[in-house]
Amino acid sequence: MRALLSGNEAIARGAYEYGVQVATGYPGTPSSEILENIARYPEIYAEWSVNEKVAMDAAIGAAYAGRRALVTMKQVGMNVASDSFFYAVYTGVKGGLLIVTADDPGMYSSQNEQDNRHYARFAKMPMVEPADSQEAKDMVGLGLELSEAWDTPVLLRTVMRISHSGSPVELGQRPPRDNSPVALERNPHKLVSTCLWARDRHPVVEDRLQRLAEYACTVSVNRIEWGDRRLGIVTSGPVYHYAHEVWPDASYLKLGLPYPLPTALIRRFADGVERLLVLEELDPFLEEQIKALGISCQGKALFPLTGELTPAVLVESAAAAGLIAAPPPLPPPLPLPGRSPVFCPGCPHRSTFYLLNRMKNVVVAGDIGCYNLGALPPFDATDTMGSMGASIGVAHGFDVANISDPFVAVIGDSTFFHAGIAPLLNIVHNGGKSTVVILDNHTTAMTGHQDHPGTAVRLGGAPATRVDIADVVQACGVHDVHRVNAFEIKAVRRALKDALAFDGPSVVLVEGPCFFVGPGPAGAYEVDPAACVACGVCFRLGCPAIVRSDEVYPANGKPQAFIDPVLCVGCDMCAQVCGPGAIHPVDEPVSGVEQ
């Protein structure tokens, strides 16, 4: 049977068909749907771990126990997990261990564009790289087999355009797996990475890598497709397909197992073509290694280092280099306003950023989550944002640097559990006085509403012990804790002011469910045109449901507000900020007016 699967669905299907028993991960676009789809197979134990390092260690433990294990994360998640997969390369595994990294060339939803192929080389583990959904599924099987045969974790690197594009996949069955208890095979010399013993493992790693490079010349996913010998293209991942749009007749060396590099195969290919191009997204990972073999080729001199290498980019670069004729130019685009993402109607984060926008002197060390939209208009509130959990450490840096303006850290609940607890402890331990605003919307919203330790359910829907953030914060030694309802703007304002005034570490816990995990919409609100004075304050809430009306308030000639009843979910925030009280639920009399 054939089905149209996204790359992420195909990886999940591969986990099922190739007998994965334990799957872990931490959400992050473009990887999140892998584990969500795995969780649909009851045969596989699946969990959202608290962060990527924990997910990695758990998968390693499962593999030590002889289970086939898979761990998924977005590209920057590998930075968090790196301390752990480096040791696993030395210790080796028993059951197959597949590490899935979803990179994001083009930075559609990431803070950087790092090329995680380097991690394969850095940690010295083999890597497979699919070019479409069928390969994504197949390479889960290949990766697990390699992992067991060579006693090493294997990296599967996908990119956004594989993870989130769909193509047909042939479906197969899952082999029977024994889930009954297993005894851990004890082998401290191998599994305890003390320097005394790990020293013996390093030569094993180097030897393995050399033999793998020979094997990589024979494996079918590394293959030469001879065509027109005047142009040879070495490539991997989705660029293989992009290149076919531009050079359908060229010769190709397609690398499905690009690390360790199949050097003999590359030499044979290079000898068989007149001109050699290396086409790869982001860094010259293959190109530099190929050049180091003494083989002359061209890559980044002609094609960009940044962004996706889409067919359009290939055409533009190839035409500029005189490799192909330039296509006729497109008609120019119309001059149009952009459209950035915004806080949804009913979003609990809106009150905090509406207030921080008004508290102009407050410096905001931001963090990653939906709330980084607080950096955009109409809020323009956030001053820094780097990596998950960074807000609290950066704020502490402002504190010890003695910056003159008041400052806060702002962090979401999932991010707090992921990487916020250690820096909070650090503030307490070192006598810091930062104010930390924790936006608890009871979910990991940005990446698609995954569970975390503060939610009452876990992946798959089973109940979970809900950890209360206020308890955690108190246990860390913060005693000035202000717990407020996100939908009461006045209360949030008071809490922010009080916490900032406190001479010591303080936390404002702003609670309110993300609209998508909350009780659902209340009735829509409307603006009374007779009462609206077109002051524009409600527009500062940046709510997509509040738009400019066609009507103008005569006294100032400005457009009045209008609430789109299809979009409004009745959160009440606009009614709270409206000075003249012109906003009220539909069908409810305006306060003070008899009807």
Partner 1 sequence: MKAINFLITGVGGQGTLLAGDLLAAVGLAAGYDVKKSDILGLAVRGGAVVGHVRWAERVFSPIVPDGQVDFLVAFEVLEGLRWLHHVRPEGTVLLNQQEIHPVTVSSGLTGYPDPAAVDRALGERGGPVFKVPGLELALRLGNPRVLNVVLLGALSSRLPLSAALWQQVLKNRVPGRYLELNEKAFEQGRTWAQERSDS
Residue selected from 24, 72, 222, 443 as contacting ligand TPP according to rule CB under 6 A: 443
| 530 contacts partner 1 (rule: CB under 8 A) | no
Buried b (16+ CB within 10 A) or exposed e, 417-440: bbbbbebbeebeeeebebbbbbbb
Per-residue contact string for residues 338-377; x = within reach of ligand TPP by CB under 6 A: ------------------------------xxxx------
Q: Where are the beta strands (DSSP E) in 486-545?
A: 506-511, 525-527
Q: For ligand TPP, which is the closer residue by CB, 6 or 414? A: 414
E strands present in 383-497: 407-412, 435-440, 480-485
Q: Which residues of 193-232 are buried (b: 16+ CB within 10 A; e: fewer)?
A: eeeeebeebeeebeebbeebbebbbebebbebeebeeebb
Applying CB under 8 A, among 221, 373, 409, 578 the residue interacting with partner 1 is 373
Which residue in 237, 412, 512, 570 binds ligand TPP (CB under 6 A)?
A: 412
Among ligand TPP, partner 1, none, partner that 340 touches (CB below 5 to 8 angstroms by kind): partner 1
Contact between 80 and 39 (Cβ < 8 Å): no
Q: Is 244 in the site for partner 1 (CB under 8 A)?
A: yes
Can residue 447 be called a binding residue for ligand TPP (CB under 6 A)?
Answer: yes
Q: Which stretch binds ligand TPP (CB under 6 A): 1-9, 17-25, 121-129, 407-415?
A: 407-415
Backbone angles phi, psi at 354, to 5 degrees: -60, -45
Residue type, 448: G
CB 342 within 8 A of CB 336: no
Tell which positions 254-283 bind partner 1, by CB under 8 A.
none
Q: DSSP for 310-332?
A: -HHHHHHHHHHTTSSPPPPPPPP
Q: Which member of 540, 569, 573, 578 binds partner 1 (CB under 8 A)? A: 540
What is d(CA 389, CA 374) in angstroms, rounded to the nearest whole number?
Answer: 16
Q: Of residues 62-81, which lie at the interface with ligand TPP (CB under 6 A)?
A: 74, 76-77, 80
* 3-state secondary structure (DSSP) of residue 189: helix
Q: How far is the CB of 532 from partner 1 (least distance, A)?
A: 14
Here's the x/- map for partner 1, 341-360, by CB under 8 A: it reads as xxxx----------------
Q: Which of 439, 473, 453, 467 is nearest to 369 (CA)?
A: 439
3-class DSSP state for residue 183? coil
Here's the x/- map for partner 1, 166-205, by CB under 8 A: it reads as xxx-------------------------------------
**Which residue in this structure is represented by tokens 């402002």?**
398
Spatial separation of the C-alpha atoms in residues 385 and 364, rounded to whole Å: 9
Residue 16 within binding range of ligand TPP, rule CB under 6 A = no
Is 56:85 a contact under the CB 8 Å cutoff? yes
Neighbours of 325 (CB within 10 A): 9
**DSSP single-letter state for residue 463:** B
**413 interacts with, out of partner 1, ligand TPP, none, CB within 5 to 8 A per kind:** ligand TPP
Q: Which of 9, 52, 132, 399 binds partner 1 (CB under 8 A)?
A: 132
Which of ligand TPP, partner 1, none lies near 368, with the C-beta cut-off 5 to 8 A by kind? ligand TPP
- Among 415, 434, 455, 506, interactor with ligand TPP by CB under 6 A: 415
Nearer to partner 1, 4 or 292 (CB): 4
* Site for ligand TPP, rule CB under 6 A: 26-28, 52, 74, 76-77, 80, 368-371, 388, 412-415, 441, 443-447
Residues that bind partner 1 (CB under 8 A): 2, 4, 6, 29-30, 33, 108-109, 132, 161, 164-168, 238, 241-242, 244-245, 310-312, 315, 327, 330-334, 336-344, 370, 373, 377-378, 446-448, 536, 539-540, 542-544, 546-548, 559, 566
